[in-house]
Structure 1
Amino acid sequence: MTFDPESLGRTRSDLAAALSSERRRAGLTQTTLAKRCNMSQTKISNIEGGKITPTIVDVELILETLGAHDPVATEILALVRSAHTEWQDTWASQRRGLDKKQDELARLEAVTTEFRFFLPTMITGLLATPDYVRASLDRSTGDIAKVVARKLERQRTLMDSSKSFTFLLTEQAVRWPLVPPLAMAVQLGRLASLCRIPHIRLGVIPLEQVGPVVETPLSVFTVYDRRLVQVETHTGALILRDYKDVSAYREDFERYEAHAVWGDECRGLLEGWAERFTRQRQ
């Protein structure tokens, strides 16, 4: 399915109108439809009023009950997928101020208890040293000092033992020399030390690993509980909230996870690579 970025996350009213129209075509009242779908009349009313966004499963059940067929059913299912998707482009974020994006992430992290980070390209801000954070923002505009400060403030969430974090990085992401050798050695030392925190799991997929892990394109993504997934691209980020999308990315994560090294073996790799960067400095 192809998404129009400008329409993502803005189709709730279109979806509500389409479902209401299809119900009326079928000659059913909201109460009758609710009973046949084992839903409350209030829920049907809120869906048709655009007050809540139904899940794909909800819509599939409603369409089946209404006897809707293609192309109407296909169009309505496309609307619900779009209604659960949001596009945040890089340029709009920069115009608004990248520190605002950091504030949004902090609010999301505050209400999340289980995190999964897949990092095939570079080290994420939660794990980064100040030097690495500044280097990662080298091409950004605006008040970079404020953005760096916000990113470093967000790292405090790592110390919350009521949350669990799993970070999965490729060897390329870990060893990419974004900063000078000595700063890279410090960065890898930080990763190795974070491995020792009980509620933080950090794994690395070594370059020599082959198999299913390389069969699909590798994109940076973060799974927040079962609530949503953020998929990062070069020009922005997709926010996916439908449970099917979230489940698909969780399954991808588990498949990649099986190819990583963890614990003492992971620390050994990180410390060895840090030592190599240290020797480059000498």
Structure 2
Amino acid sequence: MTVDPQRAGQDRQDLAAALRKLRRASGLSGERLAVRCGMSQSKVSRIETGRTLPTVVDVQQILSALGVDRDTAEDLLGLAQVANAEYEDVRASVQRGLHHRQRELATLESSARHMRHFLPAMITGLLQTPDYMRQAMSPAVDPADGDISRAMTMKLERQALLHDGSKRFDFLLTESAVRWQLCSSSVMAVQIDHLVSISRLPNVHISVLPLTERVPDAPFHTFVTYDDHLVTAELFSGRIVLRDPKDIDYYRRLFDFFVSHSAVDEDARAILESWADDYRAQFMRERD
């Protein structure tokens, strides 16, 4: 089965139709199937009409209750995995306007209580200074044609959430993410100082993972978990959104694994301050 994330919406409808057809072929009513699955009849109805996206576990329960053969079950479970993933092409996002992406992120952040950002490549928008942000939103390859100023304003407005004591933010940055010289040395020093300052907020926790630390796994890509409901994974070409509980649990455990190898609290701040000092020293050398 070929997995094309851009077909997630159609796959969702195909999955609903297939489950409805199998249930009718079995001779079971929606109510009887619900009893066998331990679900409510209303949930079964919403799944069959496509109003509710079933998790892979939901689909497993339904297929088991219907006694579906192995090949059919594997096909539908694969379809469920794809349906639980959405893909947003970065080019489509730019065409709609960069500010729309900021509005979507603001909605995710306002509805979540605990967010975990795993950052192996660069500093995320919630932690960026304006100068760093401007460069981050002006990539050298395929630069955006959208209104960067408007998007930057919205991104800076999102940072106010860091001061909302009802929310918790955990940021894990690798040394590569912090020290990647996206901007001039003076801008980098200010940006790292900003990380130290933000880390002192009571509801914000910043961990750093130095390159000198031995870690028996690799940081493949940036991801963010929003409570236990959703995960986003960043690619060069776009963003994948995962909603399956198994995927969410996996990424939460992965975050905890990397944190266990990281410096936290005062140790993290001391490391960040030393990196900022390195950039200040570089700036002074460049001036001489």
When normalised by structure 2's length, the TM-score is 0.94
Structure 2 contact 5–82 (Cα < 8 Å) conserved: no
Instruction: Say if 2:156 is the partner of 1:147.
Output: no
Change (3 A) 1:2 1:198: farther
Q: Which residue of 2 aligns with 1:232?
A: 234
How many equivalent residue pairs?
280
Structure 1 contact 9–82 (Cα < 8 Å) conserved: no
How big is the alpha-carbon RMSD for the aligned residues of Structure 1 and Structure 2?
1.2
Q: Secondary structure at the match of 1:116?
A: strand
Q: Secondary structure at the match of 1:213?
A: coil
Q: Which amino acid aligns with 1:186?
A: V
Q: Say which of 213, 229, 234 aligns to 1:209.
A: 213
State the 1:28 CA deviation: 1.3
State the 1:137 CA deviation: 1.1
Could you tell me how far apart the structure 2 residues matched to 1:177 and 1:203 are? 19
State the 1:38 CA deviation: 2.1
Report % sequence identity: 45
Instruction: Say if 2:127 is the partner of 1:123.
Output: no
Q: How does 1:150-229 map to 2 (within 5 A)?
A: 150-214=154-218, 217-229=219-231
Q: Which residue of 2 aligns with 1:271?
A: 273
State the 1:126 CA deviation: 0.4
State the 1:158 CA deviation: 0.4
Q: How does 1:33-182 map to 2 (within 5 A)?
A: 33-139=33-139, 140-182=144-186
Could you tell me how far apart the structure 1 residues matched to 2:211 and 2:42 are? 54
Could you tell me how far apart the structure 2 residues matched to 1:178 and 1:41 are? 54
Q: Secondary structure at the match of 1:234?
A: coil
Q: Which residue of 1 aligns with 2:283?
A: 281
Q: Secondary structure at the match of 2:7?
A: coil
Change (3 A) 1:54 1:261: same
Q: Which amino acid aligns with 1:161?
A: G
Structure 2 contact 193–276 (Cα < 8 Å) conserved: yes
Q: Secondary structure at the match of 1:36?
A: helix
Deviations 1:217-260 (A, max 9, x none): 52000000011000000100100011111111111111111111
Structure 2 contact 231–242 (Cα < 8 Å) conserved: yes
Instruction: Say if 2:259 is the partner of 1:257.
Output: yes
Could you tell me how far apart the structure 1 residues matched to 2:189 and 2:136 are? 16
Could you tell me how far apart the structure 2 residues matched to 1:40 and 1:171 are? 48
Q: Which amino acid aligns with 1:230?
A: T
Deviates more, 1:67-76 or 1:152-161: 67-76
Structure 1 contact 213–259 (Cα < 8 Å) conserved: no
Could you tell me how far apart the structure 2 residues matched to 1:148 and 1:31 are? 51
Change (3 A) 1:18 1:220: same
Structure 1 contact 170–206 (Cα < 8 Å) conserved: yes
Deviates more, 1:17-26 or 1:121-130: 17-26
Could you tell me how far apart the structure 2 residues matched to 1:81 and 1:278 are? 48
Could you tell me how far apart the structure 2 residues matched to 1:125 and 1:60 are? 38
Could you tell me how far apart the structure 2 residues matched to 1:148 and 1:181 are? 22
Could you tell me how far apart the structure 1 residues matched to 2:108 and 2:170 are? 16
Could you tell me how far apart the structure 1 residues matched to 2:271 and 2:6 are? 44
Q: Say which of 231, 242, 245 aligns to 1:243.
A: 245
Could you tell me how far apart the structure 1 residues matched to 2:109 and 2:10 are? 24
State the 1:2 CA deviation: 4.8
State the 1:6 CA deviation: 2.5
